[in-house]
Amino acid sequence: MMRADFAAIANWITPNSEVLDLGCGDGSFLEYLKKQKPVQAYGVEIDDARVLSCVRKGLNVIQQNLEGGLALFENNSFDTVVLSQTLQTIHETEKILREVARVGKESVVSFPNFGHWSHRLAVGLGRMPVSKSLPYQWYNTPNVRVLTVADFEKLASSLGLQILDQCILHEGRQVTLMPNLFGSLALFRVRRA
């Protein structure tokens, strides 16, 4: 099943551009993007099996841990750097966002929105939420932190990132009414201010 955010992210990417997908997983997004637009696509992934999956799909992938930063890449190396549903798994959030903004002329960041009403309700009832956007139990999650739409907007501002566009989704549909409450997946297009 295709993730709902793939099309939204692809809409923000210019044809014939260079794209870097950080935490690219099995390469599903890069494969989707290459089918939608002519782009030069590259991925970074740490997991052996996922790197192998990318290679089998004919994708350019580098095996690297994002926690170490992106020193391998020069400033403005890519037109767009994508950090899709990976931010919440990173320990040094500010560091990776600075690096993403340094390496990409523009960046797309997406993450599960912990501010969604169902997550708030679960916490209010004394349980950590489990949902489509946060599908793990608290004890086996790869997520090291949770954040909301409002949290990201504040952090972006403090890091000198300009929000160019945003798309808040729930079950594949865009949410415009009170997105921090009704959206379960947040996508932001940003650049250095």
Indicate whether 106 pLDDT > 70. yes
Q: At what angle do helices 93-103 and 149-158 cross, to 10 degrees?
A: 60
- Point out which residues pair with 58 in neighbouring strands: none
In this prediction, residue 1 carries a pLDDT of 60
Which two tokens mark 143? 């997520």
Q: How confident is the model at residue 137 (pLDDT cuts 50, 70, 90)?
A: confident
Instruction: Judge residue 143's burial from the number of C-beta atoms within 10 Å of its C-beta, 0-12 exposed, 13-18 middle, 19 or more buried.
Output: middle
Q: What is the CATH number for 64? A: 3.40.50.150
Contact between residue 30 and residue 21 where contact means Cβ atoms under 8 Å apart? yes
Q: Structural domain tally of the chain?
A: 1
Contact between residue 48 and residue 66 where contact means Cβ atoms under 8 Å apart? no
Q: How confident is the model at residue 43 (pLDDT cuts 50, 70, 90)?
A: very high
Query: d(Cα 162, Cα 190) in Å, to the nearest integer?
Result: 5
101: domain range? 5-192
